[in-house]
């Protein structure tokens, strides 16, 4: 258990003669006087009372405030319990005061007493620390100690432990172990060894007190640690303290999604409204931050009375509560699938992601981000033009207007719409130019065939079809964590509408939503993806946040809530059969031949290439969505060239490795 910083203040050794006035010199006068004192104690303000021996109310209030200051924001609730006359004396009564201190859901309750004496028409009492805390001795100190609760684990599919306490080394400079003149050199040497910012760390060392341990970094203490004990010991004043931190199996494992844990920042402490204190461990990002209160549990506390520093006696425990362990957070991530997904992205320098969903349940088995994402959660939060993968949505909308996979459409080298000329991607096969079937146009991704049918559909038609396959505000209802669910604008120019037909213009999607599209086609009905199982806060998902460089920016309507969205028109069995037929053709005769003959069975897929930015020629996002058996995947590379050429091989590698696991 980790003990937090202890607060301590000395109680002034002060005896105050407190005079409480009442116009009634009988029992009612004593009760009135006692009630005045109870009210003042409850308010923490004794200034309104009249004190004898020239002691001001301000000084009495200061003494009381200093006594209770170590208990922080917690203040006592004080009430008058009783006033009883003393035997053989009409001029003395015993007043009993009931105290209650609320520490979260726990309460510390006790009574104190005071003897009130009548002198003429005035009731008086002595002021001692015992009026506030029973048997408290003047000169002692109060201490409030806090012990952290065991943090809950993050679990994956079938209860796999993804995040738990694992050994770490807190490495830094102990300023008591290095002469002041050598501290700068030691800080520089340690920063170089640990590959951290030397100037910043040196400032921290110089600013810390002479007795401080200035931590530089926490390193996993496992077989993969490259910084050795000998290297640390060779630097004067450098030490490594063994500890534990909640960590995933590896440093990069689902890091953007699971998040990290560390010491609470000043900003988080302020936002917590007293829940967090300096030195507390708390979630800093991802699910660790989103579900911090559930994972953190409740700290235990001790209120103790401690003798002055020169006393060797044990502190007297006045009140204590047990720490309550945090709850485990259950997710659907599969450790092996997540690791494979990260492995196939390991050599991708651009921002990238792989999402794997189980169509039969909607469970998100993996949501991986490549090293080029630089820690950003591209898989869930990315907002990108989906390119030709969106032709799956457009095809569904056309099916609903009466077309079939056998319907003839016109695929021309170019077509004008809304004052804009649209062309097919470079390398489009000449054999599929002309009057071809919708299936062939889909398999070879003929842009002009889809754009030429723009007049058959409205933006509302596209939005409805998108919602039926899992793109739009309602898609994130069950996910349980922050994510961008995609968006199809309902208004725009004719050119924007034509561009929407091929997943360009104002259409936005994230990798996980396109994995849902593939899963829904494969399953034959809308799949509602789930990442957090029975989350405590199911309203936590949002529609995006800050974007990485090069990504599309959200439109105003992208932040609409799921509750305001219209009901989703169900995907019919006949529609699903037609879409599967067309996606199968992408593999058997179209651009995704790389997915043929993979272990694990037949694959259905759709490639996608989406232009973005102002470069000439424009840069392109590379996409591939696919389904095989009870797996649906989406592969995305932000600066990736053509979908078939870049995302396709990654998808093939992924499915091959998943089949072999």
Mean pLDDT on 17-23: 49
Phi, psi (degrees; rounded to nearest 5) at 83? -135, 115
For the ranges 192-201, 228-237, 530-539, 577-586, the lowest mean pLDDT is seen at 530-539
Residue 186 resides in a domain:
yes
Structure tokens at 343: 């492995």
DSSP letters, 524-568, are TS----BSBSS-S-TT---S--S--TTPPPPPGGGG--GGGSPPP
CA diameter of the chain: 118
Collapsed DSSP state (helix, strand, coil) of residue 622 = strand
What's the total number of domains in the chain?
Answer: 3
Mean pLDDT on 591-612: 96
Look at residues 381, 405, 411 and name the one whose alpha carbon lies nearest to residue 546: 381
DSSP letters, 310-327, are T--SPPEEEEEE--BPPP
pLDDT band at 3 (very low <50, low <70, confident <90, very high): very low
Distances (CA, A) of 599 to 4, 40, 466, 595: 55, 80, 31, 10
Residue 249 resides in a domain:
yes
Do residues 648 and 592 lie in contact, with contact meaning Cβ atoms separated by under 8 Å?
yes
Residue 613 resides in a domain:
no
pLDDT band at 556 (very low <50, low <70, confident <90, very high): very low
Domain that holds residue 424: 335-593
CATH number of the domain residue 274 falls in: 3.90.1310
| 201, 132: one domain | no
CB under 8 Å to 49, separation ≥6 — which residues? 18, 19, 20, 36, 37, 40, 57, 60
Mean pLDDT on 59-73: 88
State the Cα–Cα distance between residues 625 and 592, nearest whole angstrom.
10
Collapsed DSSP state (helix, strand, coil) of residue 397 = helix
Q: Is the pLDDT of residue 185 over 50?
A: yes
pLDDT at residue 238, rounded to an integer: 97
CATH number of the domain residue 33 falls in: 3.10.450
Mean pLDDT on 515-537: 89
| 350, 376: one domain | yes
State the Cα–Cα distance between residues 294 and 287, nearest whole angstrom.
11
Q: Is the pLDDT of residue 11 over 70?
A: no
* Burial of 472 (C-beta count, 10 Å sphere; 0-12/13-18/19+): buried
| 386, 529: one domain | yes
User: Look-up: residue for tokens 């924007």?
Assistant: 496
Degrees (nearest 5) of the Cα angle 217, 220, 225? 100
CA atoms within 13 A on the CB side of 470: 29
pLDDT at residue 541, rounded to an integer: 42
Which of 146, 167, 200 corresponds to the end of one domain? 146
pLDDT at residue 51, rounded to an integer: 64
Q: At what angle do helices 573-588 and 391-399 cross, to 10 degrees?
A: 140
Q: Is the pLDDT of residue 281 over 50?
A: yes
- Higher-pLDDT residue of 534 and 396 is 396
Q: What mean pLDDT is reported for the chain?
A: 89
Which of 146, 174, 192 corresponds to the end of one domain? 146
198-207: list long-range contacts, CB under 8 Å, 24+ apart.
205/173, 205/175
Structure tokens at 640: 């990736």
CA atoms within 13 A on the CB side of 249: 13
Mean pLDDT on 516-530: 97
Residue 288 resides in a domain:
yes
State the Cα–Cα distance between residues 544 and 475, nearest whole angstrom.
13
Q: Is the pLDDT of residue 2 over 60?
A: no
Query: Residue 93: enclosing H or E segment and its boundaries?
Result: strand 92-103
Structure tokens at 418: 């809304």
Q: Is the pLDDT of residue 16 over 50?
A: no
For the ranges 206-220, 466-480, 615-629, the lowest mean pLDDT is seen at 466-480
What is the tally of helices (H) and strands (E) in the chain?
19, 26
Structure tokens at 153: 């684990």
Mean pLDDT on 264-289: 89
| 171, 66: one domain | no
Look at residues 125, 141, 122 and name the one whose alpha carbon lies nearest to residue 133: 141
| 42, 165: one domain | no
Q: Which one-letter DSSP state was computed for residue 413?
A: S
Do residues 609 and 591 lie in contact, with contact meaning Cβ atoms separated by under 8 Å?
no
Mean pLDDT on 76-88: 93
Q: Is the pLDDT of residue 552 over 80?
A: no
pLDDT at residue 20, rounded to an integer: 55
| 492, 560: one domain | yes
Q: Is the pLDDT of residue 158 over 50?
A: yes
Do residues 475 and 529 lie in contact, with contact meaning Cβ atoms separated by under 8 Å?
yes
Do residues 111 and 135 lie in contact, with contact meaning Cβ atoms separated by under 8 Å?
no
Look at residues 32, 15, 16 and name the one whose alpha carbon lies nearest to residue 118: 32
| 344, 407: one domain | yes
Q: Residue 116's beta-bridge partner residues? A: 93
CB under 8 Å to 166, separation ≥6 — which residues? 220, 222, 244, 245, 246, 247
| 164, 136: one domain | no
| 90, 175: one domain | no
Q: Is the pLDDT of residue 334 over 60?
A: yes
CA atoms within 13 A on the CB side of 632: 31
pLDDT at residue 60, rounded to an integer: 79
State the Cα–Cα distance between residues 72 and 317, nearest whole angstrom.
17
Do residues 155 and 330 lie in contact, with contact meaning Cβ atoms separated by under 8 Å?
yes
pLDDT at residue 53, rounded to an integer: 66
- Radius of gyration, alpha carbons of the chain: 34
Do residues 543 and 481 lie in contact, with contact meaning Cβ atoms separated by under 8 Å?
no
Which of 540, 562, 593 corresponds to the end of one domain? 593
State the Cα–Cα distance between residues 99 and 210, nearest whole angstrom.
41
Do residues 79 and 97 lie in contact, with contact meaning Cβ atoms separated by under 8 Å?
yes
CB atoms within 10 A of CB 4: 17
pLDDT at residue 412, rounded to an integer: 96
| 503, 534: one domain | yes
Q: At what angle do helices 459-469 and 511-523 cross, to 10 degrees?
A: 80
| 158, 130: one domain | no
Q: Is the pLDDT of residue 373 over 90?
A: yes
Mean pLDDT on 32-46: 93
State the Cα–Cα distance between residues 57 and 49, nearest whole angstrom.
6
Q: Residue 168's beta-bridge partner residues? A: 220, 243
Do residues 439 and 407 lie in contact, with contact meaning Cβ atoms separated by under 8 Å?
no
For the ranges 40-49, 152-161, 305-314, the lowest mean pLDDT is seen at 305-314
Omega prior to 617 cis, within 30 of 0: yes
pLDDT at residue 47, rounded to an integer: 87
For the ranges 262-271, 337-346, 456-465, 489-498, the lowest mean pLDDT is seen at 262-271
- Higher-pLDDT residue of 258 and 280 is 258
| 185, 160: one domain | yes
pLDDT band at 507 (very low <50, low <70, confident <90, very high): very high
pLDDT per residue as tens digits for the range 204-249:
999 999 999 999 999 999 999 999 999 999 999 999 999 999 999 9
Residue 601 resides in a domain:
no
pLDDT per residue as tens digits for the range 404-414:
999 999 999 99
Q: Checking phi first, is residue 83 left (phi over 0); if not, alpha (psi -120 to 50) or beta? A: beta
CATH number of the domain residue 410 falls in: 3.40.710.10
Residue 604 resides in a domain:
no
Residue 614 resides in a domain:
no
State the Cα–Cα distance between residues 477 and 335, nearest whole angstrom.
24
Do residues 65 and 136 lie in contact, with contact meaning Cβ atoms separated by under 8 Å?
no
Q: Which one-letter DSSP state was computed for residue 129?
A: G
Structure tokens at 18: 């407190």
pLDDT band at 10 (very low <50, low <70, confident <90, very high): very low
Q: Is the pLDDT of residue 606 over 70?
A: yes
Residue 582 resides in a domain:
yes
Q: Residue 621's beta-bridge partner residues? A: 610
State the Cα–Cα distance between residues 277 and 2, nearest whole angstrom.
13
């Amino acid at each position: 258990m980790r003990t937090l910083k202890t607060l301590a203040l000395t109680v002034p050794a002060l005896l105050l003669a407190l005079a409480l006035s009442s116009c009634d010199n009988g029992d009612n006068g004593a009760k009135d006087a006692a009630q005045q004192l109870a009210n003042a104690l409850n308010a923490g303000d004794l200034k309104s009372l009249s004190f004898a021996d020239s002691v001001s109310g301000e000084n009495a209030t200061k003494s009381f405030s200093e006594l209770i200051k170590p208990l922080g924001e917690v203040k006592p609730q004080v009430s008058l319990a009783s006033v009883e006359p003393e035997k053989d004396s009409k001029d003395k009564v015993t007043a009993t005061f009931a105290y209650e201190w609320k520490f979260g859901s726990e309460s510390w309750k006790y009574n104190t007493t005071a003897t009130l004496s009548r002198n003429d028409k005035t009731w008086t009492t002595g002021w001692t620390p015992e009026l506030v805390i029973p048997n408290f001795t003047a000169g002692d100190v109060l201490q409030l100690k806090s012990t952290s609760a065991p943090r809950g684990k993050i679990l994956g599919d079938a209860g796999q432990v993804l995040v738990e306490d694992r050994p770490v080394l807190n490495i830094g400079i102990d300023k008591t172990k290095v002469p002041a003149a050598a501290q700068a050199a030691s800080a520089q040497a340690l920063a170089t060894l640990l590959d951290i910012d030397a100037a910043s760390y040196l400032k921290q060392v110089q600013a810390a007190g002479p007795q401080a341990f200035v931590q530089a970094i926490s390193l996993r203490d496992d077989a993969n640690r490259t910084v050795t004990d000998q290297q640390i010991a060779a630097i004067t004043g450098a030490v490594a303290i063994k500890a534990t931190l909640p960590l995933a199996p590896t440093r990069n494992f689902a890091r953007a999604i699971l998040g990290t844990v560390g010491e609470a920042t000043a900003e988080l402490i302020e936002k917590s409204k007293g829940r967090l204190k300096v030195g507390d461990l708390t979630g800093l990002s991802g699910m660790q931050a989103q579900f911090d209160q559930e994972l953190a549990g409740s700290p235990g506390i001790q209120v103790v009375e401690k003798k002055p520093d020169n006393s060797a006696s044990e502190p007297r425990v006045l009140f204590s509560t047990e720490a309550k362990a945090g709850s485990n957070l259950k997710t659907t991530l599969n450790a092996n699938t997540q690791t494979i997904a990260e492995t196939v992205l390991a050599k991708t320098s651009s921002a990238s992601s792989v999402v794997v969903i189980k169509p039969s349940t909607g469970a998100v088995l993996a949501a991986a981000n490549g090293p080029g994402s630089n820690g950003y959660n591209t898989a869930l939060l990315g907002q990108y033009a989906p390119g030709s993968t969106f032709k799956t949505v457009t095809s569904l909308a056309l099916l609903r207007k009466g077309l079939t996979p056998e319907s003839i459409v016109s695929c021309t080298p170019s077509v004008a719409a809304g004052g804009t000329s649209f062309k097919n991607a470079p390398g489009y096969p000449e054999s599929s130019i002309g009057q071809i079937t919708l299936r062939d146009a889909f398999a070879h991704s003929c842009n002009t065939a889809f754009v030429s049918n723009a007049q058959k559909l409205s933006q509302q038609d596209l939005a409805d079809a998108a919602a039926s396959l899992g793109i739009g505000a309602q898609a994130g209802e069950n996910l349980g964590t922050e994510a961008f669910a995609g968006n199809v604008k309902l208004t725009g120019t004719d050119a924007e509408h034509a561009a929407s037909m091929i997943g360009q213009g104002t259409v936005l999607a994230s990798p996980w939503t396109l994995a849902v599209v593939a899963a829904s086609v494969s399953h034959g009905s809308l799949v509602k993806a789930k990442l957090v199982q029975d989350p405590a806060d199911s309203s936590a998902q949002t529609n995006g946040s800050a974007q990485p460089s090069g990504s599309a920016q959200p439109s105003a309507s992208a932040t609409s809530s799921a509750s305001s969205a219209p009901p989703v028109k169900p995907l019919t069995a006949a529609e699903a059969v037609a879409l599967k037929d067309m996606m199968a053709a992408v593999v058997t005769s179209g651009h995704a031949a790389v997915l043929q003959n993979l272990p694990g069975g037949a694959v259905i897929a759709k490639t996608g290439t989406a232009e973005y930015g102002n470069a000439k020629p424009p840069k392109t996002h590379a996409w591939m969505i696919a389904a095989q058996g009870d797996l649906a995947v989406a592969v995305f590379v932000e600066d990736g060239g053509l979908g078939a050429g870049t995302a396709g091989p990654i998808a093939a590698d992924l499915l091959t490795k998943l089949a072999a696991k």
